[in-house]
Amino acid sequence: MHVFGPFDQFPIGLAGAYVPPVADRVQHLGVLDGLGFDHALLIQPSLYGSDHSALLDAIAKSEGRLLGIGSCDASVSGQELASMREAGVIGLRFVGVPGPDGGRYPGTQDLDSLDQLLPDMAAAGMHTQLWADLDLCADTAATLAQRGMPLVLDHLAGLSPQDRPGSYRFDKLVDALSSGLVWIKLTYLRRSAQPLDYQDMRETVEALAAAAPKQLLWGSDWPFVRMAAQPDPAFLLDQLLAWLGREGFARCMTENPARLFAATKSLDRQTATATR
């Protein structure tokens, strides 16, 4: 999920890929309460670039309910990352998809920055999140798994409704998830060709749940930027419950995130042990 603003305190400073919605920390917590969530993970919006003021403010005022994923270029120091981690930022996001004009997606960091930041990220206890096409997701997953770095793949790693078990793309993704250090967000609404219905993604999501049940996470992507048809988060939750069943739904919502956060926390301990 994302927060924007309050704009009188945290104005948008970049010309980005979309117009910012009204979605401040108070509205966000209201959505969580309405859906029955105790906790959520905020993702740094591209419109704020590397200015984390709004994100950190929302985390600080959430009474322990929120953590965050930041966005930093290679100039950030290890000390700065450690401070961000202490403030509740548990990972950094990198983007490998083009922006609306075909160039680099505005306000984001690419994988060149990740290569330089990995040691300091591990030392701070931060994992990696990646928004990219499936091939880049799979290649990055293999590389980071060898280095012990947890990786979360955004937006269903680019899977389409046509990607089913036995297809090259689906099987390549499942292989990428097999290390146990790679998770995938079931943000299937972004991959569907049926707005507000999403039934074309059901078979793909159910197949993922059968192939890698412990590596699935849910991402609502609220407040649904760059979407003409605005989804209903409660509908999405009911739909996912129907697709995964109660056991799979509980695993996706609670058990799997807990395993990811545990793996992230262990990074700084591993780094400290290795440098003694």
Q: Please report, for the domain that includes residue 107, its CATH number.
A: 3.20.20.140
Output the CA angle 147-104-12, nearest 5 degrees: 105
User: What is the band of 112 on the pLDDT scale with cuts at 50, 70, 90?
Assistant: very high
Give the model's confidence band at 66: pLDDT under 50 very low, under 70 low, under 90 confident, else very high: very high
Tell me the pLDDT band of 54, cut-offs 50, 70 and 90: very high
Strand locations in the chain (E): 40-43, 66-70, 89-95, 127-131, 151-153, 182-185, 216-217
Determine the pLDDT at residue 238. Answer: 97
Residue 266 included in any domain = yes
Domain residue limits at 133: 25-274
H helix runs in 101-214, sequence order? 111-124, 134-146, 168-177, 202-211
**Average pLDDT of 115-143?**
95
pLDDT the model gives residue 182:
97
pLDDT of residue 268: 66
Q: How much is the pLDDT for 88?
A: 97
Position 172 pLDDT exceeds 80:
yes
Instruction: Report d(CA 37, CA 162) in Å as an integer.
Output: 32
Task: Please give the average per-residue pLDDT across 145-157, as a whole number.
Answer: 95
Q: For 233-244, what is the mean pLDDT?
A: 97
pLDDT of residue 276: 35
Least confident piece of the model among 28-32, 124-128, 263-267: 263-267
Residue 270's pLDDT is 64
Any domain includes 4: no
Q: Which residues contact 69 (CB under 8 A, 6 or more apart)?
A: 41, 42, 43, 44, 89, 90, 91, 92, 93, 129
Q: pLDDT band at residue 274, thresholds of 50, 70 and 90?
A: very low
Do residues 65 and 39 make contact, with C-beta atoms less than 8 angstroms apart?
A: yes
Model confidence over 193-204: pLDDT tens digits?
999 999 999 999
pTM over 0.85: yes
The yes-or-no verdict on residue 13 having pLDDT over 80 is no
In a domain, 238, yes or no: yes
Instruction: Give the 3-state secondary structure of residue 87.
Output: coil
The one-character DSSP state at 220 is -
3-state helix/strand/coil string of 107-124: CCCCHHHHHHHHHHHHHH
Residue 269 confidence (pLDDT): 62
Q: Within a domain: residue 159?
A: yes
φ and ψ of 57, to 5 deg: -65, -45
What average pLDDT score do residues 12-25 get?
86
pLDDT at 146 over 50: yes
Residue 16 lies in a domain: no
Hey, what are 152's tokens?
């979360």
Rounded to an integer, the average pLDDT of 35-58 is 96
Using alpha carbons, select from 49, 53, 59, 51 the residue that is nearest to residue 1. 59
DSSP 9: T
Asked if residue 6 has a cis previous peptide bond (ω within 30° of 0), the answer is: yes
Residue 160, Cβ density class (10 Å: 0-12 exposed, 13-18 middle, ≥19 buried):
middle
Q: In the structure encoding, which two tokens stand for residue 32, read together?
A: 């969580």
Is 10 within a domain?
Answer: no
* Residue 103's pLDDT band (cuts 50, 70, 90): confident
Over range 82-94, report the average pLDDT: 98
The answer to whether residue 19 is domain-embedded is no
Q: Is residue 256 part of a domain?
A: yes
What's the structural domain count of the chain?
Answer: 1
Three-class SS state of 30: helix
